Amino acid sequence: MVCQICNKNPATVHFTEIQDNRSSELHVCQNCAQEKGLAPQSGLQKFSFSQLLAGMVDEMATGEEEKVGPVQCPRCGLHYTSFKETGRLGCPACYSTFQAKLRPLLRRIHGSTRHTGKHPATESESVARTRQVQRLQDELQRAIDKEDFERAAELRDLIRTADQAVTREGRPRANPA
């Protein structure tokens, strides 16, 4: 496979982007990838995802998300524009501060916005509640798919109640410092 940018060197860096259920691929050589800021240095270093991400954030900034939520993290002082430039958030609280903007971005990066893996030992109870909400939401989707609107309405109420419990417990965990 030849690099899609220079059409000369063999393509050795491969990106797949999925947008609106359409998958587009980019196959480029190391040189071009580096020039475009998509690739790492030599050796076993990781992709420069943050640079790639910064590009994605930029693109999204023109959309609706840009108008939602605060522009600066009250905890660490990071401006959202700085995240757009570097692809790096400033502190754990930035996730809550910028959540309206981050949610669509996370969906685009990962295809999902819900963690289903392990959790710190101390988080088990609230996580269990979140899991419950998640299960209910899955069930709701199935009910809607089957056009069982009576059941869907019940589920929506259950989710609302459970969701409030999760929110009361605080996410992220209340800050004692």
Cα separation, 134 vs 116, in Å, equals 10
Produce one character per residue of 111-147: b if its CB has 16 or more CB atoms within 10 Å, e if not.
eeeeeeeeeeeeeeebeebbebbeebbebbeebeeee
* Least spacing, CB of residue 130 vs another protein, in Å: 4
Nearer to another protein, 153 or 164 (CB): 164
The residues that touch another protein, with contacts defined as CB under 8 A, are: 1, 9-16, 23, 25, 27, 29-31, 40-47, 49-50, 53, 75-76, 78, 86-92, 95-96, 102, 105-106, 109-121, 123, 126-127, 129-130, 166, 171-173, 175, 177
Structure tokens at 92: 């754990």
Two tokens, residue 106 = 């996370």
* Smallest separation (angstroms) from another protein to the CB of 17: 11
Q: Rounded to the nearest whole angstrom, what is the least distance from the CB of residue 153 to another protein in the complex? A: 24
Which residue, 42 or 150, has its beta carbon nearer to another protein?
42
Closest CA to 26 of 55, 56, 2, 50: 2
